[in-house]
């Protein structure tokens, strides 16, 4: 089973979008990285790299963090183009087109695999305030994608 997990951020125009992704093969984390909007000259090129990752890796399942506009943050999002939901739509469409099951997971599931749990499970190593996985320094986006993959492996519909 090959699982590609995304912590998507579509924010190109609205600044600093970084999508974390994690790749699991046979229930083991084998790769993780970021796709950073600052590396692209337009949102479509940034979003297309997500599609290209799906095409290159050919996962059996794609898992992504859902986006829900919270009432308390609705005013902050006034006039937003809501780029992250657009990116999620692109990911979902590519999965549909390629016949890949695609599952959205609530952002709250990440609490099941918080940083302390990642350390306790031996997945992450704490060095000062930083967390390393497989010897590589990680950021929140990478770890959030990893959390989504781990959650799907443990509680998902298809394993």
Mean pLDDT of the chain: 90
Within 10 A of 71 (CB to CB), how many other CB atoms are there?
7
Domain made up of 2-69+80-155: CATH architecture: 2-Layer Sandwich (3.30)
Range of lowest pLDDT (7-11, 46-50, 98-102, 118-122): 7-11
Closest CA to 100 of 59, 43, 42, 152: 59
**Average pLDDT for 128-138:** 95
pLDDT digits (tens, 9 = 90+) for 3-60: 999 999 877 666 678 999 999 999 999 999 999 999 999 989 999 999 999 999 999 9
Closest CA to 151 of 10, 2, 25, 27: 27
DSSP states along the chain:
-EEEEEE----STTS--EEEEEEEETTEEEEEEEEEGGG-SSHHHHHHHHHHHHHHH--SEEEEE-----GGGTTTTTT---HHHHHHHHHHHHHHHHT--EEEE-GGGGGGG-HHHHHHTTS-EEETTEEEETTEE--HHHHHHHHHHHHHHHH-S--
Q: Are 159 and 28 in contact (CB under 8 A)?
A: no
- pTM across the whole model: 0.90
Residues with Cβ within 8 Å of 18's Cβ and at least 6 positions away in sequence, in order, are 9, 34, 35, 36, 37, 139, 141
Please report, for the chain, the start and end positions of each structural domain, with discontinuous segments joined by +.
2-69+80-155
**Look-up: residue for tokens 């990285």?**
33
């Amino acid at each position: 089973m090959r699982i590609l997990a995304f912590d998507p951020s579509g924010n190109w125009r609205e600044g600093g979008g970084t999508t974390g992704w994690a790749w699991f093969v046979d229930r083991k984390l084998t790769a993780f990285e970021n796709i950073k909007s600052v590396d692209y000259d337009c949102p479509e090129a940034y979003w297309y790299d997500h599609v290209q990752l799906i095409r290159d890796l050919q996962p059996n399942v794609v898992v992504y963090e859902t986006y829900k506009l919270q009432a308390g943050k609705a005013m902050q999002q006034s006039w937003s183009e809501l780029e992250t939901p657009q990116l999620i739509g692109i990911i979902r469409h590519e999965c549909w087109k390629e016949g890949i099951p695609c599952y959205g997971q609530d952002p709250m599931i990440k609490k099941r695999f918080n940083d302390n749990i990642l350390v306790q499970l031996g997945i992450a190593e704490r060095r000062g305030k930083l967390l390393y996985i497989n010897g590589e320094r990680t950021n929140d986006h990478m770890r959030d994608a990893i959390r989504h993959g781990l959650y799907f492996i443990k509680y998902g519909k298809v394993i």
